[in-house]
Homo-oligomer: A and B are copies of this chain.
Amino acid sequence: MFKDGDFIYIDYTLKIKDNGKVVDTTIEEEAKKNEIYESDKKYSPQLVILGEHRVIKGLEEGLYNLNVGDEVELEVPPEKGFGERDPGKVRVVPLSELRRQKVDPYPNMLLRMADGGYATVKSVSGGRVVLDLNHPYAGKSLVYKVKVVRAIEDKAEKVKALLARWFGLEAPEKFSLDLTENSLKVNVPLEYVLVEDLGLMMRMFAKDVLTFIGQEMVVEFTEKFDKSILSSK
C-alpha cells in the first residue's frame, strides 16, 4: 500500500484492449517482441511520485493498492485513460492541401500537426481527406500490465531519482551532490552546462525537491570553470 508523495519505480506494458496491440512499454524485450522498439529510447523502470498526476490517471490510482514486487493487470476505462472521443474533432481537408505539404495520406496514417498534436487519417476519397484530431487512444480501454519494481524512502535516493528525471539517467553518477538536513548542493559537470534549457531544468528540479523532499530545503547549483576550458573548443 502506497500513499501520496511515495516514490516508486514501475515497469509497465500498455495494450489497447479492443485489438490487443501493445503500444508502449518500459521493457526493452517487450518493445522488441511487439515491434515498437526505438533505438534512442532508454528502457528502464519509470519513476512515479504518487499524487503527482504525471501518469495516466487509471494507472496511478491502481498503484496505491500495490506493494513492492506486485505484478498486476489494470484495466483502465477511456475516461481515466486518454479521454473519451470527441466526434466534433473530425475535419475534412482537401487532398491537395496535404499534397502541398508533401504528405501522401492513407487510412490509419498518423500525422504530426503544426501545433504538436496528432491526427489520424480516417479516409481518402474524391479529393477529400477525413482527419480525426482525437488522441489516437481516446475512447479506448487500456490494459496496463504493471510491476512495482522498487520504492525509495531514503532522501538521498529521492534526490538522485529527481536528478535523473530532469538531467537524464546518467546524471546521478556524473553530478556530485552534498545533502544535509535542509540543504542540497549540486555540482553541475561542464558537459551538462551547455545543454539547452539548463536554467529551466535547474528550476524544475529545485521545485520538485522543494515539493517532494522538503519545503525548507535550499537547493544550490554550482558550475566551476578553470583553464581546462581554454584548450577545448
Contacts and interface: CB of A to CB of B under 8 A. Distances in A.
A227 B216 contact: yes
A220 B221 CA distance: 10
How many copies of this chain does the complex contain? 2
Given A211-B230, A230-B215, A225 B199 contact: no
Interface string A216-227: 111111111111
Contacts of A207: 225, 229-230
B199 A215 contact: no
Contacts of A195: 199
28 contacts: A193-B199, A193-B203, A194-B203, A198-B199, A202-B223, A202-B225, A203-B225, A203-B229, A206-B229, A207-B229, A207-B230, A210-B225, A210-B227, A210-B229, A210-B230, A211-B230, A215-B227, A215-B230, A218-B224, A218-B225, A218-B226, A219-B224, A219-B225, A220-B222, A220-B224, A221-B221, A221-B224, A222-B222
Interface of A: 192-195, 198-200, 202-203, 206-207, 210-211, 215-227, 229-230
